[in-house]
Amino acid sequence: MRLNKNIIGLILGPILFSVIMIFVDAEGLSFEAKCILASTAWMAVWWVTECVPISVTALLPIVLFPITGGMDLSTTTAAYGHKLVFLFVGGFLIALAIEKWHLHKRLALNIIRFTGSNKSRVILGFMLATAFLSMWISNTATSIMILPVGLAIISQLKDDPKTIENENEFFGKSLMIAIAYSASIGGMATLIGTPPNMVLAGVVEESYGIKLNMFDWMKFGVPLSSFLLIICWLYLTKIAFKFKNEEFSAGKEEILRQINKLGRFSNEEIKVLIVFTLTALGWIFRGSIETIFPMIDDTIIAIFFAVTLFIIPTKNRKTNTTLLVWDDTVKLPWGILILFGGGMAIASAFGKSGLALWIADLLQNLDNVSLFLIILIIVTSINLLTEVTSNMATTAMLLPVLVTIALAIEVHPYFLLIGATLAASCAFMLPISTPPNAVVFGSGFLKIEDMFKKGVWMNLISILIISLVVYFILPYVFDMTAELIPIS
């Protein structure tokens, strides 16, 4: 079945490209815009079918844009070296250091330790730890790291004489789902927490020349993520899974055992923690730093502290002379960086070719539809689409289109762009929807039926919350008084 899907995608992409190039001759559509439209259609088919790796598809603009005449090679390739790409390089390097020296595990275990020992609170502890780590580390890495800790806790429940036998599996299901959901929700809180947020920052800067810095996003993303996390915890522990016996005395003992196994803070852990803290403070207080260094930027802060990781020495120099060595960089998610570059190339081409304005003209009739209904439709559509497609590929493909829709219906683009970006992180129904879902599904505690039945309600909850928050709260967080016109 998968082979057929791959073959169909491989063939359909070039065919759709050829059909648009040969037969489409719409009024007002320039030749350059038609080239970009055809190329994007080809990429969309390959992204949806995943007939080749999605990062490979993201390289197509380097071939298609210059050959067709849609956009020259220098402008196209410049998108892959966008400064935001290097912001994420810096963030990923810091995350690698946190993982390398096991600081992430210590942070997670101590968060879980202080939340209590009954079942609901154990789940809350795991959700808080997972969400916090996912703010700074990829949600895939976070869920992979947290999973063994969760499995150890579940094994302790089996040996607890105070628990009912069938509650072992019940608790296991709820904990696995909680880890997956909180990894996705936590990533929404920061710009580097999840790929769709990266795409949003790039599209906003590429389309409007506006920099979304870390603090700008966190003052909106952290409260929203925290609220959604609390709602998710209440849903999982009070509605989706109701424990007959909340007591779980063995859970705390297992957490303490794992903390003791880690021992005291190592010299390297302390140094990485200092670098991580200084980086976060630099992002948060960048506005104040700019008064002294006007050219400071989130990217500069990230790369500066990432570089220091290759300079700061370790205590034991037999295996590692510094906190990070060059061999560690093979673990960087290069595919995500290329995918992000491809999204930036599309965003740039939409504006420079005139395709954005052409699409905007087609959508002018939407200005009679209520804004809340438009937001709800977009959030619902993106949410359902990302159940079966990559959330980064989806946002890279659709955010440039939403820029033009916002222009056509004369609304502030943040309503549509931020709504779509948040929705892309809330696919909870299927194992294939997000890497965290796939990771916990592999634990053996869950069936597809379990994920679907619990996830469909969490999807609906997130759709409603995101739509309401974007419509009512967003204007009070971001300055949305000025009209934004895309840069041509």
488 residues of the chain, pLDDT tens digit each? 445 778 888 999 999 999 999 998 888 889 999 999 999 899 888 887 878 887 898 899 999 999 999 999 999 999 898 887 887 788 778 878 887 888 877 877 776 677 766 788 889 988 998 999 888 877 776 787 777 778 777 776 654 555 555 666 788 889 999 999 999 999 999 988 888 898 898 889 888 888 888 888 999 999 999 999 999 999 999 888 877 776 666 566 777 787 888 888 888 989 998 998 898 788 767 777 878 888 888 788 889 999 999 999 988 766 678 999 998 888 887 887 887 788 778 878 877 888 867 876 776 666 678 999 999 988 998 888 777 666 777 787 788 888 888 888 888 999 999 999 999 999 898 776 777 887 788 777 888 788 888 899 999 999 999 999 999 999 999 887 777 777 75
Domain of 112 in residue numbering reads as 83-331
Paired tokens of 17: 């490209």
Distance CA 457, CA 454 (A): 6
Kindly report the pTM of this predicted structure: 0.72
Does 57 fall in a domain?
no
Q: Domains in the chain: how many in total?
A: 1
Nearest one of 456, 468, 466 to 384, comparing CA atoms: 456
Assess if residue 421 is contained within a domain.
no
293: left (phi over 0), alpha (psi -120 to 50) or beta: beta
In a domain? residue 1: no
What secondary structure, in 3-state letters, does 142-171 show?
A: HHHHHHHHHHHHHHHHHCCCCCCHHHHHHH
CB 402 within 8 A of CB 486: no
Residue 323 and residue 314: Cα distance in Å, rounded? 6
On whether residue 160 sits in a domain, the answer given is yes
Per-residue confidence (pLDDT) for residue 376, from 0 to 100: 94
270 within domain boundaries? yes
* Ordered alpha helix ranges (H), 188-266: 195-208, 214-234, 249-262
Contact 418, 429 (CB under 8 A): no
Does 145 fall in a domain? yes
pLDDT at 35: 95
Would you state the pLDDT for residue 466?
96
For residue 154, tell me if it sits in a domain.
yes
Q: Is 141 exposed, middle or buried (0-12, 13-18, 19+ CB in 10 A)?
A: buried
Phi-psi region of 46 (alpha: psi -120 to 50; beta: other; left: phi over 0): alpha
CA 103/CA 202 separation, integer angstroms? 30
pLDDT computed for residue 251 by the predictor = 61
Residue 309 falls inside a structural domain: yes
